[in-house]
Amino acid sequence: MEHDAQARKPRRRRLLTILLSVVAIYVLVVLAVWVFQERLIFVAAGWGRGAVVPRVEGIVVDHLPLPVEVNDGQPGRFRIAVSRTPDPRGAIVAFCGNGEDLRSGVHWAAMWRQYGYAVVVVEFPGYGDSAGSPHAASLRAAAEAAAEFARTELAPAGTEVVAAGSSMGSFCAVHLAAEGLVDRVVLRAPPSSILEAGQAQYWFLPVAALLRHPLDNLEPARRAKVPLLVLHGDRDGIVPQRLGQRLADAWGGPSEFVSCEGYGHNDLPVHRGGPFGARIEGFLAGGR
């Protein structure tokens, strides 16, 4: 018996050592996520500094002023990609995902103009060569400035301004709708919030306690009264489809949710000639 007790002691020590090592690794992971979470949320921020934006026919790169109160008290500008269409049906103000800057934005502008609209696509503050840093206030400020530009410079009198948001860009589009600055909204793979998207991805971490940028879509969605169209892939492994459905269900105005079978997060097409182009076209035509 004494021999068995002596033999169990090293095993207990080994188990305790393993347990403490696992706990230590977990704590280190939690601390790393806390410190570097901006790199996880605003993935492409700063990566495209000084990079050449591709030339796309009919798309020009311009700038809008970033309010000093969201830029550490300093003057600065953020970049936009602009398509001016002869006799446009209205204007679309569009927002890319968190892994894109204006190098993608020019292609989004070319895609959205297929629907006969003038287009302005926003590069988030802190992305590419845009001033500032990305956070909720700067994203909202840039969105409002772009919507005002679309309304006054691009949309003919009596036509609609449409907000289009992809993934994290939906945060800007939903904000504009809640503030009554646009007439309808199209969202591609939107999260209900970055918090809930993070909890889905990092279920093993205390995301709610760690997150400094929840980027909530649900509260402003409840205040929005304009029509909404949501397209979301049923194979989305980054923003689960149930989060897009949750956002559509929370919407304060008329909403339509389209389950895009067979599509994930990054391959969901929204161009006019694609499988969902007719649904988008029909939704946009509701304003005429």
Class of domain 42-285: alpha beta
C-beta separation of 151 from 163 below 8 A: no
Give 153-198 as a DSSP string. Answer: IISPTT-EEEEEEEGGGHHHHHHHHHTT--SEEEEES--SBHHHHH
Q: What is the mean pLDDT of the chain?
A: 93
Classify each residue of 158-194 as buried b or exposed e, where b means 16 or more C-beta atoms within 10 Å of its C-beta: ebbbbbbbbbbbbbbbbbbbbeebbbbbbbbbbbbbb
> Which tokens sit at 209?
């306690």
> Which tokens sit at 12?
């207990």
Angle at 51 between CA 46 and CA 54, to 5 degrees: 125
pLDDT tens column, 96-147: 999 999 999 999 999 999 999 999 999 999 999 999 999 999 999 999 999 9
Is the per-residue pLDDT at 9 higher than 80? no
Q: State the DSSP code for 50.
A: T
Q: H/E element holding 144? A: helix 136-149
Q: Name residue 254's amino acid.
A: P
Q: What is the pTM of this model?
A: 0.91
pLDDT tens column, 179-231: 999 999 999 999 999 999 999 988 888 888 888 888 999 999 999 999 999 99
Terminal Cα-to-Cα distance of the chain (whole angstroms): 88
